């Protein structure tokens, strides 16, 4: 058993108050050498220690622009990868718990995407007719795939601008891994549902006919966020029966039916800003992760706003929840002793191509 493992087992049994106090002490000792990033979906016990908070892209850009030597990302694996891709060579990206992944990101891997690209080539020339677009919630090698094939990365904030750019390049889009963000964004842009097809990566040719592929403008990967699939259209209907004055706002990873019943649809930043800027006394039903909704609800009380979680069943991102104060303390105290644990390092060959896809996104998003 390694020294580091023993140390974590000791910290894992530590009293919560002592753990929090030692995190504060470690941060003070590390000073400007450290920056802690906290995604909106993080639990409050971890979120409170963040130097920067926001969505994954905002946080990675903040980190890359900082002078910190160590970037500790309290989020999930793909976020720490983006931080490593965008950071300087002298910066080190760290994920407190390597088990903090993303089930949606795992639904699209390089092998399956490359196989889909080859199968599409049996019907048309994908490099001439399809722009690959990957949601930022994906592995670094898929961002690199998009970079190599003239594609691009998108976020939930800039998806519409990215899709417009993509259609200017080629007539079709292969969108992965989240079908719902792709469908909701494209429909908002005026693309009818019958021009969108779902690519089932477990079936030959995605389970589609050659005719369906030729007619489609959007080829949507059969991926989804399990947290956002908890919300149902009937949850909105039932709540509005009781509180008809309610404003409904949802994340675009929610189903098409939920987004169609929502007055507002947007990213975590859009959700937060929309509610913050709303008049006092308004009531909101929110379709996104529980920790974020609870935080917005608490911060809205003073302004007389009522904020409610959309689903009657409580659901949080279990992989985000893996980042706890104990893991955060473990990586910080190792840094104090000159040891880096849980470093995230993207291979250089992938960094170059992934940066190209991200650069295209930044240019489109200006």
CATH of the domain at 300: 3.40.50.10800
**Would you say 58 and 82 are in contact if contact means Cβ atoms under 8 Å apart?**
no
Q: Containing domain of residue 302, as a range?
A: 233-309
Beta bridge partners of 37: 52, 73
CA 284 to CA 245: how far, in whole Å? 9
Q: Is residue 124 part of a domain?
A: yes
9 and 85 share one domain: yes
192 and 213 share one domain: yes
Report pLDDT digits (tens) over 6-50: 478 889 888 889 999 999 999 999 999 999 999 888 888 999 999
Read off the pTM. Answer: 0.92
Q: Could you tell me whether strands 70-74 and 34-39 are parallel, antiparallel, or unpaired per DSSP bridges?
A: parallel
> Which of 196, 224, 252 is where one domain is finished?
224
Q: Is residue 35 part of a domain?
A: yes
Q: Is residue 355 part of a domain?
A: no
110 and 211 share one domain: yes
95 and 7 share one domain: yes
* Mean of pLDDT values over 110-118: 97
Q: Which band of pLDDT confidence, cut at 50, 70 and 90, is reported for residue 3?
A: very low
Q: Which band of pLDDT confidence, cut at 50, 70 and 90, is reported for residue 321?
A: low
Q: Which band of pLDDT confidence, cut at 50, 70 and 90, is reported for residue 319?
A: low
Q: What are 325's two structure tokens?
A: 């104060």
CA 55 to CA 332: how far, in whole Å? 22
Q: Is residue 342 part of a domain?
A: yes
* Mean of pLDDT values over 87-112: 92
Q: Which band of pLDDT confidence, cut at 50, 70 and 90, is reported for residue 142?
A: very high
CA 114 to CA 116: how far, in whole Å? 5
CA 280 to CA 292: how far, in whole Å? 20
47 and 112 share one domain: no
Q: Which band of pLDDT confidence, cut at 50, 70 and 90, is reported for residue 5?
A: very low
256 and 194 share one domain: no
> Which of 285, 309, 333 is where one domain is finished?
309
Q: Provide the number of structural domains found in the chain.
A: 3
* Mean of pLDDT values over 144-149: 98
Q: Above 80 in pLDDT, residue 365?
A: yes
138 and 41 share one domain: no
Nearest to 302 by CA among 317, 280, 285: 280
116 and 40 share one domain: no
Beta bridge partners of 344: 93
Q: Is residue 353 part of a domain?
A: no
Q: Is residue 302 part of a domain?
A: yes
**Would you say 259 and 265 are in contact if contact means Cβ atoms under 8 Å apart?**
yes
> Which of 192, 224, 256 is where one domain is finished?
224
207 and 247 share one domain: no
327: Cβ contacts below 8 Å, ≥ 6 apart: 8, 96, 97
92 and 152 share one domain: no
Q: Is residue 265 part of a domain?
A: yes
Supply φ then ψ for residue 161, to 5 degrees.
-65, -40
Q: Which band of pLDDT confidence, cut at 50, 70 and 90, is reported for residue 2?
A: very low
Helix or strand (DSSP H, E) at 232: none
82 and 49 share one domain: yes
280 and 328 share one domain: no
Neighbours of 83 (CB within 10 A): 29
* Mean of pLDDT values over 331-353: 95
Q: Is residue 354 part of a domain?
A: no
């Amino acid at each position: 058993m390694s020294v580091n493992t023993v140390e974590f087992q000791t910290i894992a049994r530590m009293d919560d108050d002592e753990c929090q106090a030692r995190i504060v002490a470690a941060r003070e000792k590390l000073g400007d050498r450290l920056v802690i990033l906290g995604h909106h979906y993080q639990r409050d016990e971890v979120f409170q220690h963040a130097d920067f908070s926001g969505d994954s892209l905002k946080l990675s850009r903040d980190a890359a622009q900082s002078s910190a030597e160590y970037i500790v990302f309290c989020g999930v694996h793909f976020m720490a990868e983006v931080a490593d891709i965008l950071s300087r060579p002298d910066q080190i990206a760290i994920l407190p718990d390597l088990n903090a992944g993303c089930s949606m990101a795992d639904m699209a891997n390089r092998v399956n995407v490359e196989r889909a690209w080859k199968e599409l080539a049996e019907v048309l020339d994908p490099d001439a007719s399809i722009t690959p677009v990957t949601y930022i919630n994906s592995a670094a090698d898929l961002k690199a795939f998009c970079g190599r094939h003239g594609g691009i990365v998108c976020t939930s904030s800039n998806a519409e601008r990215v899709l417009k750019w993509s259609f200017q390049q080629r007539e079709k889009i292969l969108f992965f891994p989240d079908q719902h963000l792709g469908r909701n964004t494209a429909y908002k842009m005026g693309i009818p549902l019958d021009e969108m097809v779902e690519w089932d990566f477990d079936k030959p040719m995605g389970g589609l006919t050659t005719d369906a592929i030729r007619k489609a403008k959007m080829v949507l990967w059969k991926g989804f966020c399990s947290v956002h699939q908890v919300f149902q259209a009937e949850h909105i209907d039932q709540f509005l029966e009781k509180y008809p004055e309610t404003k409904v706002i949802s994340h675009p990873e929610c189903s098409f039916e939920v987004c169609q019943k929502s007055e507002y649809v947007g990213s975590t930043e859009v959700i937060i800003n929309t509610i913050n800027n709303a008049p006092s006394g308004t009531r909101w039903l929110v379709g996104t992760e529980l920790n974020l909704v609870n935080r917005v609800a608490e911060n809205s009380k003073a302004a007389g706003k009522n904020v409610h979680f959309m689903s009657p069943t409580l659901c949080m991102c279990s992989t985000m929840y893996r980042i706890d104060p104990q893991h955060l303390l473990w990586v910080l105290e190792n840094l104090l002793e000159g040891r880096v644990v849980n470093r995230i390092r993207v291979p250089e060959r992938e960094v170059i191509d992934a940066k190209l896809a991200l650069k295209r996104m930044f240019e489109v998003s200006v």
